[in-house]
Structure 1
């Protein structure tokens, strides 16, 4: 719609109306768009409360903002930023930019659980208009800064998570580096989201502007022309761009509703503040993105309607803090081209020097130069009230300004990139520097500009220096980005850290390291000579458990149950992972509290298993030394085990229970009640599941072996606690596996129970090897025997015998394919079983090659000799008992056997027997003579 009253833009309306009538093919759609844009600009310019449109991280916006703040000196600054982040702004002076304001919530209430953790970040750089406004408001007496955008809670109330997950990836997104992940998967809130949402429009602008991506187009056609413009021209052009992009945006109902609700929210908050304080709108300044400045909602303006109702926040508890940010992180999160934020920082510094505008910086800001207070707080002369004038017509009609070539600057770039390329491994020379210089000028001329931009220079450097391969870690494009300013990474100062992070720094102070410095630092802990360092060791092990990999990495030393550290060596990178440390501070006031909360969350989670809960018990004992928490989590492990109906976690349960039992037996006078109950319940539980596991195809042989290992290794303790061994015998009797490996495992269990002798087991294996139909499956039996070493380690010699017989008797077509299976079985599931086999084989086999030819395996010894040896041993045993009757009586008494010694008649001699039976004597004599 067009305005009916006369105004400063009537001449522009007429020109656009004539152009639309000349070039439009259809109805007045084009005319409506063009005239609507002018109406949006006129409406925003006429608003009594001055609207200052900005673009995020735009040097032109930052310079215009600093200039306008010094001219107008507003008493109230309304800023498009989440209103609940206001307490964080004063902490910016303790940080090194860029940093990001963050709202964080780990426990959600009112949102889907799978969204947790919730995170909202708003990055702040020095070359941004919002930082200029914040610095002005905080360091100027009598100025109030009011954040008017929706709260972090409303961000997730209005924006469905799927909206962010379904957005297409930007082809110009930066590298996936460590710095690019500083913001993680947080939802970004920025001031001045100014980019075409109409894909065809962006493609048209890039093609006709002869640029590769949007950041280059904005730099060439907005940043440079507006860098030296006056306030009215800057303001009207930004409003024009915002209105254009808004009217040509696709009609996504969800996104349109969110945009309009944000505008209604902000204007409602501003009117509430004006009404409550009685401030004159002429003394205020509203800073928002150009996209929202050209709003058409009914709540727009100080005289707008008050029909918008702000919904209450959810019950989610939000934590606010500052986290380090970087140029690459900002580019990755907001879809900007790689290096664009670094180039913007360079352009900002050049604009400040060229325009001589004095920017605002927070007093005490890290890296800031000291400025006199009078320059910041001095009141400027009042600006006379002058009605808005049309600056758009002149700006749109003027030809593009062709900056003259700055040969000195371009030569410096060319020499510096060749020097950097040489350091990076490229075979660059002076000729390459000349080629880059000339190619930059050539590319700029092809793109209708007399002065090469950093993007032209970057393309020229890639063309002239980078040939086929990249010899080092960085390509030429990355080297240019570093040369133009690099990826600056911010840092949150000690005073701005949450209590937990400060506590960590204080407790690690004895290490005498600069923990806030980025990069890896080596810490050496000689705890034997300096016992006070043991407390530092405790902190480091907890940080290793809680923080991402690489933040605290042990080089030497380990922590095990029942052991105390002597010497340790660590690689620490807490400065690099400062964001992770800060987010720990949102969960508690100490790392012990956070660790306890996470262990409880794991143990009581919906997917907790007996094995994972036992792991939390071990971690609570290992890192917190908390018997109270360990007993509570152990009771939880007992509950989870009783409810399990599968045996998937049996190997892990067995391993952890054995370790905990060994620890408690050596460090405690009595076992904790929970572990006694766990062993008793586990014995009955696994006895019940054993027959089903033997026949279940989903249960692996390793899992069944772990069940038997639990039953056999815990049997003595379980029986002393009241369990019945008949349960185990009945469970084994009811097991009827079909799989060969499980069958071998069952035979081993029967040997352990005494239901099957070794001779019978050996006979069964010989029978299998003698059956041609079974030979292909014999390796699977051997795999079962290998796993049987877990529950029945006494069969180690027999397994060595069985494997040796297999190597000697199996044909190569069967043996060779089985060997990889044996190796992978031992590596994956039997790493602790291999030493048993190796040690037993070393004991049985000869140690020298020369003795191998005459060596006879022990299992092939003569039966008579073995029988004779056993009879001799028995005879010696009887003689020993007869020689020491008192010891025998004592053993019998302990076993509960009562009896008396009897005199045994030795019987007749051999001669007397021969006389009594002459026929037998004759036959024996004949046999002996024949022999």
Structure 2
């Protein structure tokens, strides 16, 4: 007889025995016959386990339900059943003095533990958690010699499959433990130690533990309870593995000791039918008789503790997935949720949902295709000997029929449905830190939803609600809460009144909110305190950046302190490079404040002081620069030039802009200036209409006597982002074209990368226009630019004069 056949015979025998017991006893009599403690070994987040568990609890009718979880959170179980507590959710336990020390216990709607708690609340039965407390789990512990032993190393003294009984059990036959010896037995022990379900799946002839579990538990078509068989199987696995060693084994022993102590306490309180819901691996050591309590008490004595706080937080299906790193994760949370919520015709309902998702992506899917896909999935299940079409079959049917073999469309379905992005919800009555309560109230007032799927949000800062949203997002960034991040808009628009953000709420942000709560009870006060804490010790550049972010966040109290610190630091900092790096952020902040109506007088004054100090020291900063330093200073000069343009008022010829341009004029003619800088300063002066001899300057820069790389550096400085000059100024274009044509082969090879880098800053359209001008050989015009403009405007002026004359006559 094969292992698979033996497994089927064993399951059939167990189902038949359970059915006979159901016929011979009433529910109350059956519960009494089964004893004071019943252990239900489940798989975390298994819909089949959850459905079977609810039926088993109905049959057993316990007066106390103990669920694997931290007892510190027992007070939060009263919220289960509240219509506003919508799974997936998670219990969050954290140390208030060190919020980063935290742990989550996730629950989905199809989690057996969640259904057990709901059953107890629905039947008004005592319910509590029975695992090791979070205060012990999160407590600091010292390293011991046990930590030197690998967690998956089996005990050398553990039994090798022969426990002295007369003959092998049914599970012994499945595992082959009664006949396997040597390396084969050792391999089985290691596999069972690492993944008990994988060991059972392998014994049943499966190479995939997920598929085995779906066939045996999730896809079961009969109504018998799987828990007795699971209990026996896990008992045999534990006997095969023996006592695990290392930190994992030590922690496991303490957890199970605490669970037994919790069961004893329930019996001591007079409970007569205690239902224990725990991971299947722990079930064999929790069944009656529990044995003496003294060894468990000794094991738990001196257990380190720390103060913890527990609360409910929203969770997502994606965070339940094993791919997220969750130790008890599953591969397909969305599929499991569907199996639990749609037990009737699940395949038909699933493929209908798949068709809906594909149609939402404008992919044509007909009703006939859905019917064909259902038939294919059921046929595949029959051919593969499965009781019900599983995820593998519906995925194959989706790929072949609904997606026409398109793997991209299939991945979209997998991401949207098989894994899913469902986000739970927590009622406002759940205890939480004040900062979280204020953030939740603010998001509701601003009509913002916490969603796990990233989405773009375009804000128009001329609207009041969008202005408040922007301030909230900037405050959260100051608190290092990454819910909202700046993004790129799909809308083509210019102006400082528009912002684009990408929003994506992740469950881990709950811990970040708790960490940020040490700064204040509201988002505004916390952000203000956070800014005040980083003022000391920051450089001038960091202070300027923080000033900009603080202004965008709408924090006037923090802004006043920052400006004072920025002014003091600027007075002490003699490095011109630091001044130039800090100026752009201050200029942007001053300009952006005008949009929000913020008074930026003090900010503008500080920025103008930085401009004047930069002008005074720029000559020293540009002396004796190597190539890399010249590039850096060139970029800083560009940034300062743009910042000065933001600060300058219209018609302010005697202000900072005039002083800055005068400084550039004085530097542009220096012979010791780096060619890259000399070309760039000349270009800035041309744009400011302070230089009218650009062709002559270019001619001197490209004349004989200078090496080709030096000429190329001047060209790069002048023409970077300057395609318009070349397109519309034939004289400059002719000079540059003649210089390139006159280069020797060796010189051309040397300067080609530099010239290509310069022309790489031009857009495709600009390069095309320039090529057309060069191809047509546009001659230098014989008339001046002013005369040419007058000739072009003459017809329009004549028309306007005619219209005005007609109006006067009328």
Q: TM-score, normalised by structure 1?
A: 0.54
Task: Tell me if 1:228 matches 2:253.
Answer: no
- In the other structure, the counterpart of 1:700 is 632
| Residue number among 469, 492, 506 corresponding to 2:406 in the alignment | 469
- In the other structure, the counterpart of 1:98 is 87
- In the other structure, the counterpart of 2:562 is 633
Q: Distance in 2 between matches of 1:247 and 1:645?
A: 74
Q: Deviations over 1:843-886 (max 9, x none)?
A: xx9xxx9995314689xxxxxxxxxxxxxxxxxxxxxxxxxxxx
3-state SS of paired residue (2:483): coil
Task: Tell me if 1:769 matches 2:702.
Answer: yes
| Residue number among 210, 214, 220 corresponding to 1:219 in the alignment | 214
In structure 2, relative to structure 1, the CA distance for the partners of 1:702 and 1:553 (3 Å cut) is closer
Task: Tell me if 1:620 matches 2:550.
Answer: yes
Q: Distance in 1 between matches of 2:310 and 2:262?
A: 22
| Residue number among 279, 287, 293 corresponding to 2:269 in the alignment | 279
Q: Distance in 1 between matches of 2:230 and 2:427?
A: 38
Q: Distance in 1 between matches of 2:193 and 2:332?
A: 24
* CA shift for structure 1 position 788: 13
Q: Distance in 2 between matches of 1:87 and 1:737?
A: 77
Task: Tell me if 1:655 matches 2:648.
Answer: no
Task: Tell me if 1:323 matches 2:311.
Answer: no
Task: Tell me if 1:807 matches 2:736.
Answer: yes
* CA shift for structure 1 position 620: 1.7
Asked whether the 8 Å contact 1:540–1:552 carries over to 2, the reply is no
Q: Distance in 1 between matches of 2:399 and 2:540?
A: 57
Asked whether the 8 Å contact 2:93–2:310 carries over to 1, the reply is yes
- In the other structure, the counterpart of 2:676 is 741
Q: How many residues align?
A: 662
* CA shift for structure 1 position 129: 2.3
Alignment of 1:561-710 (within 5 A): 577=505, 579=507, 585-586=513-514, 587-588=516-517, 589-596=521-528, 599=531, 610-626=540-556, 628-637=557-566, 652-660=581-589, 667=599, 691=623, 697=629, 700-703=632-635, 705=637
Asked whether the 8 Å contact 2:88–2:314 carries over to 1, the reply is yes
Moved more, 64-73 or 119-128: 64-73
In structure 2, relative to structure 1, the CA distance for the partners of 1:104 and 1:855 (3 Å cut) is farther
Q: Deviations over 1:821-843 (max 9, x none)?
A: 2344578xxxxxx9xxxxxx9xx
In structure 2, relative to structure 1, the CA distance for the partners of 1:129 and 1:737 (3 Å cut) is farther
- In the other structure, the counterpart of 1:821 is 757
Q: Distance in 1 between matches of 2:418 and 2:558?
A: 52
| Residue number among 762, 774, 784 corresponding to 2:717 in the alignment | 784
In structure 2, relative to structure 1, the CA distance for the partners of 1:260 and 1:248 (3 Å cut) is same
In structure 2, relative to structure 1, the CA distance for the partners of 1:738 and 1:619 (3 Å cut) is closer
* CA shift for structure 1 position 130: 1.3
- In the other structure, the counterpart of 1:853 is 781
* CA shift for structure 1 position 811: 1.9
In structure 2, relative to structure 1, the CA distance for the partners of 1:285 and 1:736 (3 Å cut) is farther
Asked whether the 8 Å contact 2:457–2:500 carries over to 1, the reply is yes
In structure 2, the gaps of 5 or more residues are 1-5, 7-32, 152-189, 477-481, 787-810
- In the other structure, the counterpart of 1:126 is 109
| Residue number among 104, 121, 132 corresponding to 1:149 in the alignment | 132
| Residue number among 206, 230, 249 corresponding to 1:256 in the alignment | 249
In structure 2, relative to structure 1, the CA distance for the partners of 1:254 and 1:480 (3 Å cut) is same
* CA shift for structure 1 position 55: 1.5
In structure 2, relative to structure 1, the CA distance for the partners of 1:288 and 1:470 (3 Å cut) is closer
- In the other structure, the counterpart of 1:382 is none
In structure 1, the gaps of 5 or more residues are 1-14, 16-44, 110-115, 168-194, 354-407, 752-756, 790-795, 828-833, 835-840, 859-931
| Residue number among 48, 54, 57 corresponding to 2:42 in the alignment | 54
In structure 2, relative to structure 1, the CA distance for the partners of 1:96 and 1:448 (3 Å cut) is same
Q: Distance in 2 between matches of 1:217 and 1:432?
A: 27
Asked whether the 8 Å contact 1:101–1:121 carries over to 2, the reply is yes
Q: Distance in 1 between matches of 2:394 and 2:269?
A: 50
* CA shift for structure 1 position 802: 9.7
- In the other structure, the counterpart of 1:425 is 363
* CA shift for structure 1 position 592: 1.6
3-state SS of paired residue (2:295): coil
- In the other structure, the counterpart of 1:9 is none
Asked whether the 8 Å contact 1:322–1:496 carries over to 2, the reply is no
Q: Distance in 2 between matches of 1:603 and 1:246?
A: 62
* CA shift for structure 1 position 323: 0.8
Asked whether the 8 Å contact 2:622–2:673 carries over to 1, the reply is no
- In the other structure, the counterpart of 2:300 is 308
Q: Distance in 2 between matches of 1:330 and 1:457?
A: 19
In structure 2, relative to structure 1, the CA distance for the partners of 1:87 and 1:415 (3 Å cut) is closer
Q: Distance in 1 between matches of 2:739 and 2:35?
A: 95
- In the other structure, the counterpart of 1:490 is 424
3-state SS of paired residue (1:52): strand
3-state SS of paired residue (1:229): coil
- In the other structure, the counterpart of 2:68 is 80
In structure 2, relative to structure 1, the CA distance for the partners of 1:675 and 1:739 (3 Å cut) is closer
* CA shift for structure 1 position 285: 3.9
Asked whether the 8 Å contact 2:698–2:732 carries over to 1, the reply is no
Task: Tell me if 1:447 matches 2:348.
Answer: no
- In the other structure, the counterpart of 1:293 is 283
* CA shift for structure 1 position 290: 1.7
Q: Deviations over 1:45-92 (max 9, x none)?
A: 999765432221234433444345445555554332134444443334
Asked whether the 8 Å contact 2:314–2:423 carries over to 1, the reply is no
* CA shift for structure 1 position 216: 1.7
* CA shift for structure 1 position 578: 7.9
In structure 2, relative to structure 1, the CA distance for the partners of 1:778 and 1:496 (3 Å cut) is same
In structure 2, relative to structure 1, the CA distance for the partners of 1:461 and 1:313 (3 Å cut) is same
* CA shift for structure 1 position 656: 1.8
- In the other structure, the counterpart of 2:16 is none
Q: Deviations over 1:774-827 (max 9, x none)?
A: 2443131133356899xxxxxx99x98995574254124659765542344578
In structure 2, relative to structure 1, the CA distance for the partners of 1:196 and 1:142 (3 Å cut) is same
In structure 2, relative to structure 1, the CA distance for the partners of 1:569 and 1:106 (3 Å cut) is farther
Asked whether the 8 Å contact 2:321–2:331 carries over to 1, the reply is no
Q: Deviations over 1:681-740 (max 9, x none)?
A: 87888787665766765962434536986999999x9x999xxx9xx99x999x997953
Q: Distance in 2 between matches of 1:300 and 1:677?
A: 81
Q: Deviations over 1:588-631 (max 9, x none)?
A: 443323433554577679xx6543432221222232241x3113
* CA shift for structure 1 position 267: 4.8
Asked whether the 8 Å contact 1:701–1:787 carries over to 2, the reply is no
3-state SS of paired residue (1:700): helix
Q: Distance in 1 between matches of 2:231 and 2:702?
A: 88
Asked whether the 8 Å contact 1:584–1:591 carries over to 2, the reply is no
- In the other structure, the counterpart of 2:15 is none
Q: Distance in 1 between matches of 2:203 and 2:550?
A: 64
Asked whether the 8 Å contact 1:81–1:147 carries over to 2, the reply is yes
Asked whether the 8 Å contact 2:71–2:130 carries over to 1, the reply is yes
3-state SS of paired residue (1:592): helix
Task: Tell me if 1:346 matches 2:339.
Answer: yes
Alignment of 1:551-570 (within 5 A): none
Alignment of 1:239-254 (within 5 A): 240-241=233-234, 244=237, 247-248=240-241, 253-254=246-247
Moved more, 685-694 or 444-453: 685-694
Q: Distance in 2 between matches of 1:213 and 1:646?
A: 65
Task: Tell me if 1:537 matches 2:528.
Answer: no
